[in-house]
Amino acid sequence: MSQAKSTLEQWRILQAVVDHGGYAQAAQKLNKSQSSLNHAVAKLQSQLGVALLEVKGRKAYLTETGEVLLRRSRHITRSVSELEMLAKNLEKGWEPTLIIAREIIYPMDKLVDALSQFEPQGRGTRIIILDSVINGTLELIESEQVDIAIAGTPPKGYLAEPLCHVEFLLVCHPDHPLANRNEPLDDQSLAEHLQIVIKDTGQVTRADFGWLKAEQRWTVANFHEAIAILNRGLGFCWIPSHLVSDLLDKGCLYRLDLQGSSHRQAALNLIIPNRDNQGPASQLLEQLILAQHHD
Q: What does the domain layout of the chain look like in residue ranges? A: 8-91, 97-163+268-291, 165-264
**Could you give the CA distance from residue 262 to residue 234 in angstroms, rounded to a whole number?**
20
More confident residue, 117 or 27: 117
**Could you give the CA distance from residue 230 to residue 30 in angstroms, rounded to a whole number?**
65
At the top level of CATH, which class does the domain 165-264 belong to?
Answer: alpha beta
User: How buried is 175 (Cβ within 10 angstroms: 0-12 exposed, 13-18 middle, 19+ buried)?
Assistant: exposed
Q: Where is average pLDDT lowest: 5-9, 130-134, 229-233?
A: 5-9
41 to each of 27, 33, 65, 241, 288, how far by Cα in Å?
12, 13, 14, 62, 45
Q: Do 13 and 40 contact (CB within 8 A), yes or no?
A: yes
Domain 97-163+268-291 and domain 165-264 have a common topology: yes
Share of the chain above pLDDT 70, in %: 93
Taking the model in full, what pTM does it have?
0.69
User: Chain-wide mean pLDDT for the chain?
Assistant: 89
pLDDT score recorded for residue 259: 84
Q: Do 273 and 103 contact (CB within 8 A), yes or no?
A: no
At the top level of CATH, which class does the domain 97-163+268-291 belong to?
Answer: alpha beta
pLDDT at residue 88 above 70? Answer: no
DSSP letter, residue 199: P
Best CA proximity match to 269, nearest among 154, 118, 157, 143: 154
CA end-to-end distance (rounded Å), the chain: 55
Which CATH entry fits the domain spanning 8-91: 2.40.170.20, 2.70.98.90, 1.10.10.10, 1.20.20.10? 1.10.10.10
